């Protein structure tokens, strides 16, 4: 009876190990982003000022799992080393959308991420909050991409058109959008 119990436990343990292993899927080493949504809501900042928050949400996948940058420390770094999420703002100017230039405040840092184990693929969801203290543009959209630590750029994805008109009376005029 002991040998039957030993064989049974060995087979049960083996079956549990085989069924609990995560399937390893292969993804490209270049990251990929997929836009999920953009939400606007009103809130109050730490000083009690009314502001509007635009919340961008997207998914990413990176086959070699090298997403995120280390904090810059005390050295001066180029934006391509300091940031790894880059947004561009487009404003509707009477007849067409035009890119708004020189907005360095649309560069962000995804923190350093390192996956443990055999499967290095990273997948996740990123949410970025954009503050609108005043409404400078009324009809906009954003494009965005991420960059991994090997400087591979993901695809560029785009938000839907966002209408900000109508919020300007409800939010203080203390500072500009960017």
Q: 119 is written with which tokens?
A: 């499967």
More confident residue, 174 or 136: 136
Burial of 39 (0-12, 13-18, 19+ CB in 10 A): exposed
Overall number of domains in the chain: 1
Domain-embedded: residue 20: no
Average confidence score pLDDT of the chain: 78
Distances (CA, A) of 131 to 9, 12, 44, 52, 149: 58, 55, 11, 6, 27
Tell me what the mean pLDDT of segment 79-88 comes to. Answer: 83
pTM of the full predicted structure? 0.74
Out of 5-14, 28-37, 42-51, the most confident range is 28-37
Q: What is the span of the domain harbouring residue 86?
A: 27-163
Q: For residue 113, is it within any domain?
A: yes
User: Residue 105, SS3?
Assistant: helix
Residue 48 lies in a domain: yes
pLDDT band per the 50, 70, 90 thresholds, residue 23:
low
Q: Does a structural domain hold residue 117? A: yes
- Alpha carbon separation from 99 to 38, 41, 103, 135 (Å, rounded): 19, 24, 10, 17
The more confidently predicted of residues 140 and 164 is 140
pLDDT at 126: 93
Distance separating alpha carbons of residues 84 and 100, to the nearest angstrom: 20
Q: In the predicted model, what is the mean pLDDT of residues 130-137?
A: 83
pLDDT of residue 167: 58
d(CA 133, CA 1): 76
Distance CA 6, CA 142 (A): 62
Residue 18 lies in a domain: no
Does 11 reside within a domain?
no
* Mean predicted confidence (pLDDT) in 126-145: 89
Whether residue 50 is predicted with pLDDT greater than 70 in this model: the reply is yes
Residue 142 lies in a domain: yes
Q: What is the pLDDT of residue 159?
A: 96
As given in the structure block, the two tokens for residue 57 are: 């949400």
- The domain that holds 152 is classified in CATH as 2.60.40
> To 10 degrees, the CA torsion angle through 164, 165, 167, 172?
90
Span 2-18, mean pLDDT?
Answer: 45
| Domain assignment present for 5 | no
């Amino acid at each position: 009876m002991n040998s039957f119990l030993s064989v049974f436990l060995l087979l049960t343990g083996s079956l549990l190990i085989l069924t609990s292993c995560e399937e390893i899927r292969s993804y490209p080493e270049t990251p990929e982003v997929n836009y999920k949504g953009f939400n606007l809501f009103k809130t109050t900042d730490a000083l009690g000022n009314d502001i509007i928050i635009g919340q961008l949400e997207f998914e990413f996948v990176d086959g070699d799992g090298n997403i995120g940058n280390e904090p810059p420390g005390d050295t001066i770094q180029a934006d391509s080393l300091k940031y790894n999420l880059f947004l561009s703002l487009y404003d509707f100017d009477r007849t067409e959308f035009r890119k708004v230039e020189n907005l360095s405040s649309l560069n962000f840092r995804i923190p350093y991420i390192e996956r443990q184990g055999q499967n290095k693929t990273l997948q996740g969801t990123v949410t970025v909050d954009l503050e609108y203290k005043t409404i400078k543009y009324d009809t906009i959209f954003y494009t965005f991409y991420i960059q991994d630590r090997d400087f591979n750029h993901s695809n560029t994805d785009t938000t839907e058109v966002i209408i900000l008109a109508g919020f300007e009376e409800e939010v203080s005029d203390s500072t500009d959008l960017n």
